[in-house]
Amino acid sequence: MYLPKLEQFHKYKEMDEGVLGIFDTPEAIMHAAEKTKEKDYIGFDCILPYPVHGIDEAMGTPRSGLPWITFFAGIFGCTIGILFQYLTHAHDWPLNISGKSLNAWFAYVPIIFELTVFSAGIYTVAALCFLSGIPKATRRILHPDLTSHKFGLWIPKSAKGYNESDVVSFVKSLGGSEVTVVKPENQK
Amino acid sequence: MSLTQAVRDKLDIPDLVTGGKSLKDVTVDIAKPNEDFPTKLWWNTFLLVLTITLIDVAIIGYLFYEGLYLLGINNPVGWGFFVVNFVFWIGIGHAGTLISAVLYLFRQGWRTGINRAAEAMTIFAVLVAASNLILHVGRPWLGFWLFPYPNERGPLWVNFRSPLIWDTFAVSTYLSISMVFWYLGLIPDLATLRDRATETWRKNLYNILAFGWVGSARAWSHLEIVSMILAALSTPLVLSVHTIVSFDFAVSILPGWHTTIFPPYFVAGAIFSGFAMVVTLMVIAREVFNLKNYITMKHLDNMNKIMMVTGLIVGLAYGTEFFIAWYSGNEYEGFAFWNRAFGPYGWAYFIMISCNVLSPQVFWFRKLRYNIPVMFVASLVVNVGMWFERFVIMMTLNRDFLPSSWAMYTPTLFDYAMLIGTFGIFFTLFLLWCRIMPVIAIAEVKTVMPQKEGAHH
């Protein structure tokens, strides 16, 4: 049976201290991600201007678990839709209209559907915001080109076996065109 | 050359981004209209539509100070231009969701060039539609009564079996899901604009709008899944919204309205008019913002084909309605349709037929599908026709069961002002949006460019 795993809800980690390597092509970043995974720098990340397909496998991050949130939020919205209409029409304010059943549930379907979709959509997006660490207005921007045409490899200080000079030479060996050591104090 | 590119060349599949652009060029080209000072053309158009909007707001104020008697509505035609406008605008909105959601699910790469503008069109069209829905109740300040909430009037709840309440739920769900879908897609692009900004005020503005997006692969992986989920949720939603709008008519017992064909017929009409509006806007946008490499003739060709197909579906629906009215042997149903075509509003019926059924037939010819002036005129004509379709449906009310209660509906100046005003509001919002946010999804366009090849495993 397919069950949600905790690692599917991988969270964005702040980029305060570590090493940033900049790459020029999607191929280079794919290659770099694979090598970094082999090196076992746990918690590393790639910064991409657009979703490069296949990067998840290269980095070893599991598929997002957000569909589970959608599923349960949808069931929640559906239940609310049924209960709300039933309780208001059959209990709190029953009206006898041409002797029809108080629980004429066929007429409830449009609103049940809308509430299901609404709840599934909104809760999923809320979960996405939580996992992606947005909104946050005061966030450090490592390099302006990373949202346009460059690709970044980020190895945080918290990674296992992190050693600044080793990591710098490792990123350089991967072909990073620009390698910078990021420290909290040189934050702009 | 990658294998995919070789196959594309062999099969003569045109590139979705032409002009040999690099990733950087894409960013620069699309961000340009947001970064430059607006042109004179933009200012003139904006001031014109803003004036229309302000006049409209003043007229709405006066209308509600005086009362709805200023409008042409009467008994039996209790639903005037407000509901015509409501159905028209909500239909316009549907193409945006269709492009962003349905084409996403079908992996149509060409949607990336047009989806952003189409989604924005959806939001503004639905806002305009919702305002008409609120205004048509006559006392808009009591519009919140449409929502179920615990109140002080005893155990008084809204009637969940009423199509008006279904509308409320459908439109508000549609608006919120569309807005969320649109904004999520915008976040990475706003981050691009933030990182390119040189002035402080601009940087601060986009910093707030971009929510602090950095483009982490972990966040992208969630965002991609959520886009897919929202697309999957919006697809039935878009069908449900117009189905429910059609229920406003179809669950009544009025001949000509009480038909099961209404939901699919309305949905097809919505897609038809929405695509026409997208073509109108895209033809202008690619010209004004110099985006011909991103909104290519292929994009327009595809949209024209969709317009033609939906036009045929709508034509089939008109025919089916007539056939069933005759075949059912129901005298009242038969009269309703005879009255539509040959009654006092027959002229509107024939405008509808010629605009909606005949005019899209020009798109059978490849040469005309690739002809900008032809498609521009055709898209405008289709929009006029689709407005008249809703008008014709509404005018079914003027002759119902009892000849003693028949009456004509004559729109007053206020009705026309409201109609023009809806266009004013829509274009004001759209023009403002074009200045602040990218008209093309920067990140999404990059995923369909040849450069992304090699990223595949």
Ordered by start, the domain boundaries in chain B are: 20-138+158-176+213-446
Contact A51, A181 (CB under 8 A): no
A126 touches chain B (CB under 8 A): no
A109 touches chain B (CB under 8 A): no
Tell me which chain A residue has its CA closest to the CA of residue B170: A114
Of B165, B215, B229, the CB nearest to A66: B229
φ, ψ at B147 (rounded to 5°): -95, 140
The answer to whether B244 contacts A47, with C-beta atoms less than 8 Å apart, is no
Separation between Cα atoms, residue A88 and residue A82, nearest integer Å: 10
What class has domain B20-138+158-176+213-446? mainly alpha
The answer to whether B217 contacts A47, with C-beta atoms less than 8 Å apart, is yes
The answer to whether A88 contacts B240, with C-beta atoms less than 8 Å apart, is no
Give pTM, 2 decimals: 0.88
Separation between Cα atoms, residue B187 and residue A28, nearest integer Å: 25
Of B192, B454, B455, the CB nearest to A147: B192
| A93 plus A35 within the same structural domain | no
B446 contacts in A (CB within 8 Å)? 49-50
Residues 6+ apart with CB under 8 A from A155: A18, A19, A21, A36, A41, A44, A162, A167, A171
Q: Establish if A54 belongs to a structural domain.
A: no
Core vs surface per residue B146-179: b (16+ CB within 10 A) or e: bebeeeeeeeebbebbebebbbbbbbbbbbbbbe
The answer to whether B455 contacts A52, with C-beta atoms less than 8 Å apart, is yes
| A43 plus A70 within the same structural domain | no
B357/chain A closest Cα distance in angstroms: 31
Residue B335 exposed, middle or buried by CB count within 10 Å (0-12, 13-18, 19+): middle
Q: Establish if A5 belongs to a structural domain.
A: no
Q: What is the pLDDT of residue B456?
A: 43
Contact B75, B419 (CB under 8 A): no
A63 touches chain B (CB under 8 A): yes
Q: Is the peptide bond before A135 cis (omega within 30 degrees of 0)?
A: yes
Contact A178, A144 (CB under 8 A): no
A18/chain B closest Cα distance in angstroms: 15
For residue B431, how many other CB atoms are within 10 A of its CB? 18
B237 contacts in A (CB within 8 Å)? 114, 117
Q: Establish if A10 belongs to a structural domain.
A: no
Q: What is the pLDDT of residue B8?
A: 67
Top residue of B221, B228, B440, B446 to mutate, by most chain A CBs within 10 Å, is B221
C-alpha closest to that of B437 among B126, B90, B120, B195? B120
Helix ranges (H only) for B152-216 are 163-196, 200-209
Which residue carries 């037939």 as its tokens?
B361
φ, ψ at A49 (rounded to 5°): -75, -20
Host H or E run for residue A179: strand A178-182
- CATH number of the domain that residue A154 is part of: 3.30.70
Q: Could you say which of A106, A132, A158 is where a domain stops? A: A132
B51/chain A closest Cα distance in angstroms: 35
B259/chain A closest Cα distance in angstroms: 17
The answer to whether A118 contacts B165, with C-beta atoms less than 8 Å apart, is no
Q: What is the pLDDT of residue A114?
A: 93
The answer to whether A132 contacts B219, with C-beta atoms less than 8 Å apart, is yes
| A116 plus A72 within the same structural domain | yes
Q: How far is CA A34 from CA A9, A46, A138, B421, in A?
A: 21, 11, 31, 57
pLDDT in tens, A39-98: 777 888 888 888 888 888 888 888 888 899 999 999 999 999 999 999 988 888 888 888
Identity of residue A97: I
Q: Establish if A102 belongs to a structural domain.
A: yes
Q: What is the pLDDT of residue A186?
A: 62
A93 contacts in B (CB within 8 Å)? 155-157
Q: Could you say which of A86, A108, A132 is where a domain stops? A: A132
Q: Which domain holds residue A81?
A: 65-132
The answer to whether B215 contacts A147, with C-beta atoms less than 8 Å apart, is yes
Q: Which two tokens stand for residue B410?
A: 């004559």
Of B27, B216, B233, the CB nearest to A148: B27
Tell me which chain B residue has its CA closest to the CA of residue A118: B173
The answer to whether B170 contacts A144, with C-beta atoms less than 8 Å apart, is no
| A179 plus A155 within the same structural domain | yes
Strand-pairing partners, residue A45, are: A154
pLDDT in tens, A23-50: 888 888 888 888 888 877 788 888 888 8
A108 contacts in B (CB within 8 Å)? 160-161
Window A:156-185, CB contacts with B under 8 Å:
none
Across A159-163, average pLDDT? 77
Residues 6+ apart with CB under 8 A from B1: B9
Q: What is the pLDDT of residue B455?
A: 42
C-alpha closest to that of B241 among B89, B380, B378? B89
Contact B99, B112 (CB under 8 A): no
Q: How many Cβ pairs closer than 8 A exist between chain A and B?
A: 217
Nearest-Å Rg of the Cα atoms of chain A is 24
Contact B382, B307 (CB under 8 A): yes
Of B23, B220, B457, the CB nearest to A149: B23
Q: What is the pLDDT of residue B311?
A: 92
Of A51, A84, A145, the CB nearest to B220: A51
Tell me which chain B residue has its CA closest to the CA of residue A67: B229
B440/chain A closest Cα distance in angstroms: 14
The answer to whether B455 contacts A131, with C-beta atoms less than 8 Å apart, is no
The answer to whether A132 contacts B218, with C-beta atoms less than 8 Å apart, is yes
Sheet holding A178-182, edge to edge: A45-47, A151-156, A18-23, A178-182
Q: What is the DSSP string of B64-106?
A: HHH-GGGSS--SS----HHHHHHHHHHHHHHHHHIIIIIHHHT
Residues 6+ apart with CB under 8 A from B161: A89, A104, A107, A108
Of B161, B176, B215, the CB nearest to A48: B215
A169/chain B closest Cα distance in angstroms: 23
Top residue of B146, B175, B222 to mutate, by most chain A CBs within 10 Å, is B222
Low-confidence ranges of chain B (pLDDT < 70): 1-5, 8-9, 12-14, 451-457
Q: What is the pLDDT of residue A77?
A: 94
The answer to whether B226 contacts A93, with C-beta atoms less than 8 Å apart, is no
Residues 6+ apart with CB under 8 A from B252: B258
Q: How many domains does chain A have?
A: 2
pLDDT in tens, A114-143: 999 999 999 999 999 998 888 887 887 888
| A127 plus A93 within the same structural domain | yes
Q: What is the DSSP string of B272-300?
A: HHHHHHHHHHHHHHHHHTT-TTTS-HHHH
Chain centroid, CA B270 distance in Å? 8
Tell me which chain A residue has its CA closest to the CA of residue B207: A137
A11 contacts in B (CB within 8 Å)? 218
Identity of residue B173: T
Q: Establish if A140 belongs to a structural domain.
A: no
Tell me which chain A residue has its CA closest to the CA of residue B195: A144
A172/chain B closest Cα distance in angstroms: 21
Residue B453 exposed, middle or buried by CB count within 10 Å (0-12, 13-18, 19+): middle
Separation between Cα atoms, residue B318 and residue B430, nearest integer Å: 32
